[in-house]
Amino acid sequence: MHKKRGHDVESLLDLRRLDLEQIDIVRGRGASWYYPAAAALSGAGAGMVISGGELVAAASGGAAAAPSGAAIAGAFTGDAAFVLGLASRSVGHVSLLYGYDPEAPAEKLFVMSVVNAGTATSATAKTAAMSDISRLTQALVRGKSWDVLNETVVARVSTQLAKAFGIRLTKQGLGKVVPAVGIVVGGTLNWATLEAIVDAADVAYRRRFLLEKYPHLADEEASGSLPDAVSADAHDAQEAISVLGEVAEAGGPDIP
């Protein structure tokens, strides 16, 4: 796509030498609607399975028509897994647009940190996620050695985070159990979740792209300011997830 527009690139790494304007020309806005739309369809389908059967049961007057506990659990689990898969794919898509390979071990951590930020809804969870992104960005921009970060560590961290994100997405999707309304809620919630993840990815990779091109901007990043973070309150119940905390526990590098 870049070559078609006459941009001087031979490999993915070359994209980082381009001007941001050239990146934007190719980037487009497809990821901003494709992934949310796919997630919305999954959410609506899950809402149909979970709450639609209740309507059928009510209309027919037969309890036998109601969805079983296994069907409800399967719909929740399947939808959460599908959304989580879309989340990783969407962040990987954005990373490629800015010249980063999402399959590299360190990049997989960055992808997970962005998914964490995009799915966080409470102040505490958002603060932890933004801290991870900030610290990872600084480490990657500085070219920190990742010799001890092997595929085993990444796989272990990925497994733990997949469980944590799955639980988070399932809890967020409890509105799907409301008859009829659950279908709309499921689609809307999933759309909003993927939209937030794609937006978080674009901000994170765009900032990192600029920090690598203009190192003096690192002073602002190093200050540790988190503009989106607010103080927690009594209603701030969502559990915070730290990607870097999981990395350290799995035997990976402890990033300050």
Q: Which residue has the higher pLDDT, 105 or 62?
A: 105
What amino acid is encoded at 117 in this protein?
A: A
Q: Are 49 and 72 in contact (CB under 8 A)?
A: yes
* Closest by Cα among 115, 101, 84, 144 to 243: 115
Q: Please say if the pLDDT value at position 223 is more than 90.
A: no
**Residue 196 to residue 36: CA distance in whole angstroms:** 9
Q: What single-letter DSSP state applies at residue 250? A: T
Q: Which of these ranges, 65-74, 176-185, 210-219, has the smallest mean pLDDT?
A: 65-74
Quote the pLDDT of residue 67: 55
**Residue 239 to residue 37: CA distance in whole angstroms:** 27
Environment class of residue 83 by beta-carbon count within 10 Å: exposed (0-12), middle (13-18) or buried (19+)?
Answer: buried
- Residues 109-126: what's their mean pLDDT? 94
% of the chain surpassing 70 pLDDT? 79
Quote the pLDDT of residue 118: 94
Place of tokens 């506990």: 69
Query: 74: which 2 tokens?
Result: 């399967």
Tell me the pLDDT tens digit for each residue of 233-250.
444 567 899 999 999 898
Tell me the pLDDT tens digit for each residue of 139-163.
888 877 676 677 788 999 999 999 9
Computed over every residue of the chain, the mean pLDDT equals 82
Q: Which of these ranges, 22-36, 100-114, 175-189, 194-208, has the smallest mean pLDDT?
A: 175-189
Cβ neighbours of 16 (radius 10 Å): 15
* Closest by Cα among 27, 20, 19 to 1: 27
Q: Please say if the pLDDT value at position 231 is more than 50.
A: no
Q: Which pLDDT band, with edges at 50, 70 and 90, does 53 fall under?
A: low
**Residue 167 to residue 181: CA distance in whole angstroms:** 22
Tell me the pLDDT tens digit for each residue of 84-112.
999 999 999 999 999 999 999 889 999 99
Secondary-structure breakdown of the chain: helix, strand, coil percentages, each rounded to the nearest 5: 75, 0, 25
Q: Which pLDDT band, with edges at 50, 70 and 90, does 8 fall under?
A: very high
Full DSSP string of 154-211: HHHHHHHHHHHHHHHHHHHTGGGGSTTHHHHHHHHHHHHHHHHHHHHHHHHHHHHHHH
Q: Which pLDDT band, with edges at 50, 70 and 90, does 230 fall under?
A: very low
Q: Give backbone dihedrals phi and psi of 34, rounded to 5 degrees, phi first.
A: -65, -50
* Closest by Cα among 170, 136, 84 to 242: 136
Q: What angle do CA 244, 39, 35 make, to 5 degrees?
A: 75
Q: Please say if the pLDDT value at position 27 is more than 90.
A: no
pTM of the model: 0.82
